[in-house]
């Protein structure tokens, strides 16, 4: 007997937050806007919220079936399967790209003598094991990870304030080059990464225990994650300045290396690595689940219970 998979609104919130913050915090967002990157990010967030609103309205027409099924109803069997196949390729591509980023992060920071392939295989095995236990297991794990991530974020910001590593002058002058670089940074780059990636959550919406939570919970999660990324962008610019920010590969990791409180509290890189790996795990898992679930739909693969 197949049991219906159900996730709560809070689990949906935690998963979306980790998904959005997970890898977006890894790199500099809207770098073309320089010290006005935070404005570009804010514009991207507004557009991302509008895009997510469209997804939820589309979901309201087909609340009980995933995106990969109702696309075939709307476009027809053959055109629909072609669109679904394109999304599956996108999900797989994004999951593999993010996995590669985290392989590089771990080799550069904690495992200098390890192989990229070995680290990738271990992470992928963990993700496959989690999904084998079911998406409900993953979202319950995300509830715990969310609390851990929030503690790390509060600690990072607090320690950086205590260490007085911020220089507000790095955020000036505002709009030095006008709105054109900001708009170019927000569209399409900022809208695509990270807010455009919420398209994956139309695969999770049918699993909600209450369908109206897709908008009531998803939109606050998107806004909250966007505000956290906005804070990260502001503080990275204020600490590093635009010249350093443009050269560094992982700005959040570089910014925390500036912390030195009475020559005792320093070298907190491990906190950032934990933060990024946890977020990356959540994001890769969601992409991987969407790819597997979509493949099962178009190839009519059914789960066989023992």
Confidence of residue 303 (pLDDT cuts 50, 70, 90): low
Task: Assign 13 a pLDDT band (cuts: 50, 70, 90).
Answer: very high
State pLDDT tens for residues 150-195. 998 898 888 888 888 888 888 888 887 788 888 887 787 767 777 8
Q: In this model, does residue 304 exceed pLDDT 50?
A: no
Contacts of 4 (CB under 8 A, 6+ apart): none
| Residue pLDDT, tens place only, 259-282 | 888 777 777 777 788 888 888 888
Distance in angstroms (rounded) separating the CA atoms of residues 302 and 218: 29
Alpha-carbon distance 19 to 283, whole Å? 5
pLDDT tens column, 80-122: 889 889 999 999 998 888 888 888 888 887 777 777 888 888 8
How much is the pLDDT for 50?
Answer: 92
- How does the average pLDDT of the chain come out, rounded? 84
Residue 29 has pLDDT above 90, yes or no: no
pLDDT tens, 206-244? 888 888 888 899 999 999 998 998 988 888 888 888 888
Q: What is the pTM of this model?
A: 0.89
Q: Residue with structure tokens 């977020």?
A: 279
């Amino acid at each position: 007997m197949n049991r219906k998979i159900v996730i709560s609104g809070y689990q949906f919130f935690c998963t979306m937050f980790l998904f959005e913050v997970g890898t977006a915090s890894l790199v500099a967002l809207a770098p073309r806007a320089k010290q006005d990157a935070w404005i570009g990010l804010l514009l991207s967030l507004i557009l991302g919220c509008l895009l997510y609103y469209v997804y939820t309205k589309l979901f309201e027409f087909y609340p009980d079936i995933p995106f990969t099924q109702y696309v075939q109803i709307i476009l027809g069997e053959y055109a629909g399967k072609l669109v679904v196949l394109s999304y599956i390729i996108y999900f797989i591509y994004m999951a593999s790209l993010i996995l590669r980023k985290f392989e590089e992060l771990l080799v550069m920071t904690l495992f200098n003598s390890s192989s990229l392939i070995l680290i990738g295989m271990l992470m992928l095995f963990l993700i496959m094991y989690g999904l084998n236990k079911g998406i409900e297991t993953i979202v319950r794990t995300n509830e715990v990870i969310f609390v851990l991530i929030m503690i790390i974020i509060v600690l990072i910001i607090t320690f950086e304030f205590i260490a007085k590593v911020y220089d507000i002058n790095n955020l000036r002058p505002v709009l030095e080059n006008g709105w054109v670089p900001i708009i170019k940074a927000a569209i399409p780059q900022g809208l695509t990464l990270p807010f455009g990636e919420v398209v994956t959550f139309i695969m999770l919406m049918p699993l909600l225990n209450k369908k109206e939570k897709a908008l009531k919970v998803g939109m606050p999660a998107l806004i909250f994650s966007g505000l956290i990324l906005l804070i990260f962008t502001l503080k990275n610019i204020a600490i590093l300045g635009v010249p350093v920010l443009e050269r560094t590969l992982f700005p959040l990791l570089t910014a925390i290396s500036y912390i030195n409180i009475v020559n005792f509290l320093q070298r907190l890189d491990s906190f950032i690595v934990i933060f990024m790996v946890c977020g990356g795990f959540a994001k890769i898992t969601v992409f991987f689940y969407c790819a597997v679930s979509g493949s099962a739909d178009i190839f009519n693969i059914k789960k066989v219970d023992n």
